[in-house]
Amino acid sequence: MKWIFALVLVLIMAGSAGAMAQHQDMTQQRMDEEGKVVDVDTETKASPENPAGEIEVESEVDVGVNGDSSKPGEVEVDVDVSTETPAGETQTEVSIEKKGMERPVVSHRERISERLKERIQKYIEVKNVTPTEKHRLIKVKEQLKIKIQNTRQECIDAANKYIEAKQKYLELRKKPNAPVQARIMLNAGSEYIERWFDRIELAVINADNMDEDTKIAILDRIDEYRTEIEGKKEELNETSDIAKMRGVAKELNDYWGEVRVFIKSVVYQLAAAKLELLIDKAEDVEVRLQLKIEEMKASALDTAKLEELLSEYKNNVDLAKENVEKAEELLLNATTIDQVREGHKLIVDASHYLKEAFKDVRLMVKEYRKGTFFVRCLQNHHQNLYSNILILQITNPYNSPKR
């Protein structure tokens, strides 16, 4: 009879769980229909421009951007429905706004900057979300990973396309159709720059450990670069004179040098932000180690070696923090490749100091376990003998000399 009763109880619990799951699904569906929870879409949109040279960046860049998809000539309809009429009738106010019939004066930055800032704000609020929203954010991150892979491949394809167009131009530059091929080459170069901007934007937006003010400053600067490159591209496409094209190409070549410095500086800023996160964790470890040493002192244990190692650990963490702060300040305003290289060296040094600090931690653990270890005796039936947890120091049998 007992097993029959248990089986009935299990069936009742399973039915309750199914009903709860169905209720959650219906609630989720209603929220989706009402628009209370919105999926974050990550689409990037860029117009090709041109560089004259290749880029070498020693760090991978990930991140996603959502752009404004409005196009010239597009019509936007806003419908406002109000039911507050005396006769109970529904009044509908429809406003139609025609967008971009004339060439818009607004820059690429102005078109997408606000949306980028909104996206960043959503990422700031990730920690204070409901389980449903958290599930949706997990899906968003999965979409971002796919977007990162696609953006990286697009950048590689753009680089290959530029190299191919350049080689073809070099073969045909003395032929009558040289201007056409020159334009193709320069447009391919522009596309390569744009794809790098996409990668940097994606990395910055997805960098949870970077300061939000720094993020917005970087994104705004990228938008300014896009606008300037678009202007140079228009100038290029409006002429068929090979001499003018050479002039534009030279300007783009010089401009690419500036953009290249900026891209490298952002990549290293992302690396510095990750190191800063590790340093915060290292400082927490330092506090815990200090507390453990104080406990050992209270138990009359020898802590001289541990204190020496802790001092070395603290010194290495402080040096790492100092180098990261210097690197961030230098890279934020870097205008030359030498400044970027100096910032990169500071980051490498900071990484080295952190590695040394964690070596100190391993040595401290070995020292802690070397000659002593703690045996915790919990309360059991012999309450008259043990009224609390006892910490006993005993000789480690594995370190005892052989007889």
Amino acid in the structure at residue 359: K
367-374 long-range contacts, Cβ below 8 Å, gap at least 24?
Answer: 367/305, 367/306, 367/309, 368/292, 368/306, 369/396, 370/396, 370/399, 371/395, 371/396, 371/399, 372/301, 372/396
pLDDT tens digits, 349-372? 999 999 898 888 888 887 777 644
**Comparing 51 with 162, which gets the higher pLDDT?**
162
In a domain, residue 22? The reply is: no
pLDDT band at 289 (very low <50, low <70, confident <90, very high): confident
Higher-confidence residue of 380 and 267: namely 267
Q: What is the mean pLDDT of residues 39-51?
A: 37
Specify which residues 377 forms β-bridges with: 390
367 and 313 both lie in a single domain: yes
Instruction: For residues 217 and 291, state if they share a domain.
Output: no
Q: Which of 7-21, 63-77, 115-129, 245-259 has the lowest mean pLDDT?
A: 63-77
Residue 231 sits in the same domain as residue 146: yes
Instruction: Give mean pLDDT, residues 323-327.
Output: 92
**Structural domain for 317, as ranges:** 285-399
Are 213 and 289 part of one and the same domain?
Answer: no
pLDDT tens, 85-138? 344 443 433 333 334 444 445 554 454 455 555 555 555 555 555 555 555 555
| pLDDT interval class at 293 (50, 70, 90) | confident
Question: Is 233 found in the same domain as 136?
Answer: yes
**Is residue 259 domain-resident?**
no
Residue 51 lies inside a defined structural domain of this protein: no
Evaluate whether 331 touches 272 at the Cβ level (below 8 Å).
yes
Q: What is the pLDDT of residue 38?
A: 34
Which range among 215-224, 250-259, 331-340, 390-399 shows the weakest confidence by mean pLDDT? 390-399
CA nearest to 67, candidates 37, 39, 47, 96: 47
The most distant pair of C-alpha atoms in the chain lies apart, rounded to whole Å, by 105
Mean pLDDT score across all residues of the chain: 64
292, 190: one domain? no
Number of domains in the chain: 2
In a domain, 29, yes or no: no
81: tokens are: 């429905």
Regarding whether 119 and 191 lie in a shared domain, the answer is yes
pTM of the predicted model as reported, rounded to 2 decimal places: 0.52
Judge whether residue 147 has pLDDT over 70. no
Distance CA 200, CA 63 (A): 7
pLDDT per position as a tens digit, 250-266? 887 787 888 888 888 98
Among 240, 259, 293, the domain boundary falls at: 240
The CA-atom distances, in angstroms, between 216 and each of 221, 277, 340 are 9, 20, 20
